[in-house]
Chains A and B, each alone.
Chain A
Amino acid sequence: MARPFLSTQLRTGLQAPMATAVSILPAQQLATLEGAYRKSVARKRSKAALATAAFCAVLVIAAFGAEVNLRTLFTYFGNFVSYFDRILTLDSGARVWTDPAEWFWGWHKWLKMLGETILISYVGTLTGAVLAFSLNFFAAQNTSPGPWVRFTVRRLLEFARTVPGIVFALIFVIAFGLGPMAGVLAIAIHTTGALGKLFAEIVENADMKPVEGIRSTGASWLSCMRFAVLPQVSAGYASYALLRFEINVREASVMGFVGAGGIGQELVVAIRKFYYSDVSAILITIIVTVFIIDISTGWLRGRLFGKETRR
């Protein structure tokens, strides 16, 4: 039964190639359809062109605003390339990797500063996380004791989040004096703002049935939070706090620029005083440290929370 059917198919296919296989609409219908297609494409294209033109105009205005000078760029672009050439050259004129001992001559001091950088971000993150933890139940919609409390706490967190950490550091350096303490406090405040918002979002996603259960036994607000909400959200909290620690290590590495401790101090001195090979050595130690921290916190997150890592 199947064989003759197949052979007729093949024969028709041979006699009239493709044209009969795909049915073609009558010319008139085709013309209207094509016209409509052309029109809709043209409308879309003109819209896109208009948006592009507007964007380009804004860009040109922005270029004047930012004093973009292409001539400067072209004249000095060689400097950018040769800058990397210079930071990879030792004072003696040899390439840095020919003499690692000379290149990393200050490794003892730099490692100590790096340790300080990591400690700054650790203490700052932990303090910020504890503060965010104590505030977030007031900020979340489903657990806040009252709308006014919620509004105030939200605005506070927003403020702490929007003002950049290094601006806090600048102010704290004046209030608390030069040193890592200002950096720790700046990072702690910024972390409170950032984590407070994320924590509150986790709480808002939590299941409210356990809370009802606890409340029906006559428990207070505090007990509701402790026994119904906390067990659901603590894994998410720890995950976000670890992620924040990663970000804060980067942030702490530049806190030294304004005198708030850490390796940034060494780096800014090296850059400003043109100690070229030191710049590359410190940059490499920073990049390697950031890599190691990224990888180890990623591993820790994977170990602690398995597949449901929040990223």
Chain B
Amino acid sequence: MSQLPRPDTAELRAKYPGVFDRPASARLAMPTMIAAAFAIFVYGLVDLDFSPTKLISGMSQLGWIAMLMIPPNPGTSFPLYMQALGETLSIALLGTTLAALLALPVSLLAARNIIPSNLIRFPVRRFLDSIRGVDTLIWALVWINVVGLGPFAGVLAIMVSDFGAFGKLFSEAIEAADRKQVEGIRASGGNALHEIRFGLLPQVLPVIAGQVLYFIESNTRSATIIGIVGAGGIGLQLAEQIRVLEWQKVSFLILMILIAVAAIDFISSKLRFAIIGQRAVV
């Protein structure tokens, strides 16, 4: 066996002081951070009334509930649930479409390459940010106050909260668009509207369509929960059945949601590829 050359430790130490003699601050940074994170965690557990007895009794309750959920059984209300599911899908589709239609013109105002002046762009951006800062469920509560209980409030809630998200995403897509095509339109004598219509939109629309489809997908999930506060759809049924402890119906409803979400995922990913080709930019 050949022997590896024996390393000269002293020489190596002198050569790479950063590896052998790291300063105490660098060596202690990671353990300190972990300890601090753990300390906050423990403080949180105490402050939020965690106790082992509560945890164990809750777990056994949960076990009972899980046992009672099997087998999933809709009873006689299957047609009602299918209708509620249809309502949920409608809420997601309509809310997202309306949000996209409203957000498109506003996103032009928020894009740097369309409106160079900070004076308009900044307030528009902050406005969109604060709309996004409020959760969909809160918007649902507000709209229920306005148009009453029912799926229509859900549509409006999804519309408003997505309006904020779309405004931001669309304006980012517009800012990422290539300047050259717009310049080409201007060079051939087009006005500002022509520049947007023929230079910008053909580049931006496929990206936007991809994003809208993606949001329809994720809004199917949101639309299932806004029913919990009374804005229609399958969430309403789910919340009611949980409150009256009909666990077999609950598990059936959850199963329906899972299947519906998987189906929408599948369809929209197919459509997304069809629209934007193989360059899946989302």
The yes or no verdict on A and B being binding partners is yes
**A198 CB-CB contact with B under 8 Å:** no
Bitwise, B149-186 to A at CB < 8 A (1) or not (0) is 01110111000000000000000000000000000000
Contacts of B86 in A (CB 8 A): 65
Write the nearest CB–CB distance from A308 to chain B, whole angstroms. 19
Contacts of A64 in B (CB 8 A): 90
Contacts of A123 in B (CB 8 A): 41, 44-45, 48
Write the nearest CB–CB distance from B175 to chain A, whole angstroms. 15
Chain A contact surface mostly: helix
Question: In the complex the two chains form, is A172's CB within 8 Å of B58's CB?
Answer: yes
**In whole angstroms, what is the CA distance A116 to B154 when docked?**
28
Known A170-B242, A175-B62, A177-B54: A162·B151 in contact at CB below 8 Å: no
Question: What's the A-B contact tally at a CB cutoff of 8 Å?
Answer: 162
**In whole angstroms, what is the CA distance A258 to B242 when docked?**
11
**A196 CB-CB contact with B under 8 Å:** no
**B89 CB-CB contact with A under 8 Å:** yes
Question: In the complex the two chains form, is B143's CB within 8 Å of A80's CB?
Answer: yes
Question: In the complex the two chains form, is B44's CB within 8 Å of A73's CB?
Answer: no
Question: In the complex the two chains form, is A176's CB within 8 Å of B54's CB?
Answer: yes
> Which of A12-20, A31-39, A98-106, A179-187 lies at the interface with chain B?
A179-187
Contacts of B90 in A (CB 8 A): 61-66
Question: In the complex the two chains form, is B152's CB within 8 Å of A72's CB?
Answer: yes
Write the nearest CB–CB distance from B203 to chain A, whole angstroms. 16
Contacts of B94 in A (CB 8 A): 59, 62-63, 66, 68
**B111 CB-CB contact with A under 8 Å:** no
Total interface residues in chain A, CB < 8 Å? 57
**B49 CB-CB contact with A under 8 Å:** yes
Question: In the complex the two chains form, is B228's CB within 8 Å of A177's CB?
Answer: no
**B70 CB-CB contact with A under 8 Å:** no
**In whole angstroms, what is the CA distance A171 to B61 when docked?**
10
**Contact check: which of B145, B154, B225, B238 meets A66 at CB < 8 Å?**
B154
**A22 CB-CB contact with B under 8 Å:** no
**In whole angstroms, what is the CA distance A55 to B255 when docked?**
28
**Contact check: which of B65, B97, B142, B154 meets A175 at CB < 8 Å?**
B65
Known A62-B94, A291-B129: A120·B89 in contact at CB below 8 Å: no
Question: In the complex the two chains form, is A171's CB within 8 Å of B242's CB?
Answer: yes
**In whole angstroms, what is the CA distance A167 to B225 when docked?**
7
Contacts of B49 in A (CB 8 A): 179-181
**In whole angstroms, what is the CA distance A177 to B40 when docked?**
24
**A268 CB-CB contact with B under 8 Å:** yes
Most buried by B among A59, A175, A250, A253: A175
Contacts of A254 in B (CB 8 A): 135, 137-138
Write the nearest CB–CB distance from A170 to chain B, whole angstroms. 5
Contacts of A77 in B (CB 8 A): 146
Contacts of A120 in B (CB 8 A): 44, 48
**Contact check: which of A162, A257, A286 meets B257 at CB < 8 Å?**
A162
Question: In the complex the two chains form, is A162's CB within 8 Å of B48's CB?
Answer: no
**B276 CB-CB contact with A under 8 Å:** no
Write the nearest CB–CB distance from B18 to chain A, whole angstroms. 18
Q: Which residue of B lies closest to A279 (CB)?
A: B142
**B148 CB-CB contact with A under 8 Å:** yes
Known A72-B148, A166-B225: A286·B254 in contact at CB below 8 Å: no
Contacts of A69 in B (CB 8 A): 152
Which of under 10, 10 to 19, 20 to 34, or 35 or more describes the interface residues of B? Answer: 35 or more
**In whole angstroms, what is the CA distance A283 to B139 when docked?**
11
**In whole angstroms, what is the CA distance A217 to B169 when docked?**
49
**A128 CB-CB contact with B under 8 Å:** no
**B281 CB-CB contact with A under 8 Å:** no
Most buried by A among B62, B146, B151, B154: B146
**In whole angstroms, what is the CA distance A91 to B62 when docked?**
45
**B198 CB-CB contact with A under 8 Å:** no
**In whole angstroms, what is the CA distance A184 to B94 when docked?**
33
**Contact check: which of A122, A163, A267 meets B258 at CB < 8 Å?**
A163
Contacts of A243 in B (CB 8 A): none
**In whole angstroms, what is the CA distance A254 to B225 when docked?**
11
Contacts of A134 in B (CB 8 A): none
Query: Which residues, 119 to 140 on B, are CB-close (under 8 Å) to A?
Result: 129-130, 133-135, 137-138
**In whole angstroms, what is the CA distance A254 to B140 when docked?**
12
Contacts of B135 in A (CB 8 A): 250-251, 253-254
Residues on A lying within 8 angstroms of B by beta carbon are: 58-59, 61-69, 72-73, 76-77, 79-80, 83, 116, 119-120, 122-123, 126, 159, 162-164, 166-167, 170-172, 174-177, 179-181, 184, 250-251, 253-254, 257-258, 261, 267-268, 271-272, 283, 286-287, 290-291
For this complex, 25 residue pairs linking A to B, each with C-beta atoms less than 8 Å apart, are A62-B93, A66-B154, A67-B150, A67-B151, A68-B94, A68-B155, A72-B148, A72-B152, A77-B146, A80-B146, A119-B43, A119-B44, A123-B44, A163-B258, A166-B225, A167-B235, A175-B61, A175-B62, A175-B65, A179-B48, A180-B49, A181-B55, A184-B50, A254-B135, A258-B228
Extra contacts, 13 of them, besides A181-B48, A257-B141, A257-B229 (Cβ < 8 A), are A59-B97, A65-B87, A68-B94, A69-B152, A79-B147, A122-B41, A159-B258, A167-B238, A174-B61, A175-B59, A176-B55, A181-B55, A268-B229
